[in-house]
């Protein structure tokens, strides 16, 4: 099996005809490797913007690309077509899924189509590296540069944020783990509806406890002192995506506040549940009162 690690640069531009912002891709950069992650080829293509008339300050600063340079590029569909030929049947890898979202965004704009025609199998390198490091946390993703630093991978700050060198940097991070964690376990089939459903799914917090996804058993709270199921003594209150209520243990009299949230993700509902000790709360407010 061979792999292609892709990195894109894009420029956020407002399209008057589409009435929305498009992350207009301005550069493709990629490296192709054999099954042992030795580089066997590289790919680089600049794209002449059709939507944006200038580069945002942030893009200019990060990439050091100039609008004049891009004038010598090709259009998106030509670049994407050439990249598709370069990819062939290999596994596509990117650092995080934002490049996949940018491709979907551009195909949607130019062809009114969310499917990425060349994509067959996909691997998210960020997820792979984070899990291999034991640092996977969806709420706190690790950027490529930070990851490289954590792994002691050398790179020049100057070359970063250009597509091909970022792809190479991702490769160096992958190689830190390929001896111990099998990359193939992270490859998913991407030429199917399920992949796009997953990519386009937007996580949300459930704000109705009657929703079918809410596991009613999770609304029970156990007394931390004696372990019995405590009785809820107030109605559930919804505040900042959290449901909160007060509880009292019939067995030992312990009073506490229970808090829970339900986050709907593509695969599952993630529950965040905790007990707020009322004595703790009272002590805290007493201390606050003292200090003022």
List the one residue from 249, 256, 258, 262 that touches Zn ion (CB under 5 A): 249
**Nearest to Zn ion of 111, 252 (CB atom):** 252
Q: By CB under 5 A, which span of 131-139, 186-194, 251-259, 282-290 interacts with Zn ion?
A: 251-259
**Nearest to Zn ion of 107, 221 (CB atom):** 221
List the one residue from 51, 254, 260, 261 that touches Zn ion (CB under 5 A): 254
**Nearest to Zn ion of 198, 225 (CB atom):** 225
For the chain, what is the HEC assignment? CCEEEEEEEEEEEEECCCCEEEEEEEEEEEEEECCCCCEEEEEEEEECCCCCCCCCHHHHHHHCCCHHHHHCCECHHHHHHHHHHHHCCCEEEECCCHHHHHHHHHHHHHHCCCCCCCCCEEEEHHHHHHHHHCCCCCCCCCCHHHHHHHCCCCCCCCCCCCHHHHHHHHHHHHHCCCCCCCHHHHEEECCCHHHHHHHHCCCEECCCCCCCCCCHHHHCCECCCCCCECEECCCCEEECCEEEEEEECCCCCCEEEEEEEEEECCCCEEEEEEEEEHHHHHHHHHHHHHHC
In angstroms, give the least distance from the CB of 255 to Zn ion: 10
List the one residue from 252, 271, 276, 286 that touches Zn ion (CB under 5 A): 252
Q: Per-residue string for binding with Zn ion, 97-126, x by CB under 5 A?
A: ------------------------------
In angstroms, give the least distance from the CB of 253 to Zn ion: 7
Question: Which residues are paired to 188 by β-bridges?
Answer: 122
Contact 257, 208 (CB under 8 A): no
Q: By CB under 5 A, which span of 7-15, 206-214, 242-250, 266-274 interacts with Zn ion?
A: 242-250
**Nearest to Zn ion of 117, 227 (CB atom):** 227
Please give the size of the binding site for Zn ion, defined by CB under 5 A: 7
Q: Per-residue string for binding with Zn ion, 135-164, x by CB under 5 A?
A: ------------------------------
Q: By CB under 5 A, which span of 12-20, 91-99, 137-145, 245-253 interacts with Zn ion?
A: 245-253
For residue 69 the two structure tokens come to 């340079």
In angstroms, give the least distance from the CB of 277 to Zn ion: 12
**Nearest to Zn ion of 120, 273 (CB atom):** 273
**Nearest to Zn ion of 169, 223 (CB atom):** 223
- Chain residues 178-237 in contact with Zn ion, contact rule CB under 5 A: 223, 225-226
Q: By CB under 5 A, which span of 52-60, 118-126, 131-139, 249-257 interacts with Zn ion?
A: 249-257
CA 33, 34, 40, 46 torsion-angle sign: negative
Binding site for Zn ion (CB under 5 A): 223, 225-226, 249, 251-252, 254
């Amino acid at each position: 099996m061979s792999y292609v690690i892709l990195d894109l640069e894009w420029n956020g531009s407002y399209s008057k005809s589409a009435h929305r912002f498009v992350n207009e891709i301005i550069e493709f950069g990629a490296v192709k490797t054999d099954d042992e992650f030795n580089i066997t080829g590289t790919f680089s293509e600049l794209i002449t913007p059709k939507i944006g008339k200038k580069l945002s300050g942030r893009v200019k600063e990060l990439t050091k690309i100039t609008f004049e340079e891009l004038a010598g590029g090709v259009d998106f569909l030509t670049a994407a077509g050439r990249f598709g030929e370069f990819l062939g049947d290999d596994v596509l890898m990117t650092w995080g899924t934002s490049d996949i979202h940018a491709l979907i965004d551009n195909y949607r704009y130019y062809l009114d189509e969310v499917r990425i025609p060349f994509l067959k199998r996909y691997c998210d390198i960020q997820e792979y590296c984070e899990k291999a490091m034991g640092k996977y946390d969806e709420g706190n993703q690790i950027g490529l540069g930070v990851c490289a630093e954590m792994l002691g991978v050398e790179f020049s700050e100057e070359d970063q944020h250009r597509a091909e060198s970022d792809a190479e940097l991702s490769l160096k991070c992958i190689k830190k783990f390929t001896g111990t964690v099998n990359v193939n376990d992270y490859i998913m089939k991407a030429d199917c509806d399920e992949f796009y459903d997953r990519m386009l799914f937007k996580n949300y917090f459930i704000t109705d406890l009657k929703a079918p996804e809410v596991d009613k058993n999770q609304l029970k709270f156990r007394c931390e002192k004696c372990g019995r199921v405590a009785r809820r003594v107030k109605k559930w209150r919804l505040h900042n995506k959290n449901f909160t209520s007060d509880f009292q243990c019939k067995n030992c009299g312990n009073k506490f506040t229970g808090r829970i949230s339900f986050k709907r993700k593509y695969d599952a509902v993630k529950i965040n549940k905790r007990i707020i000790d009322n004595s703790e709360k009272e002590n805290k407010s007493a201390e606050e009162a003292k200090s003022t």
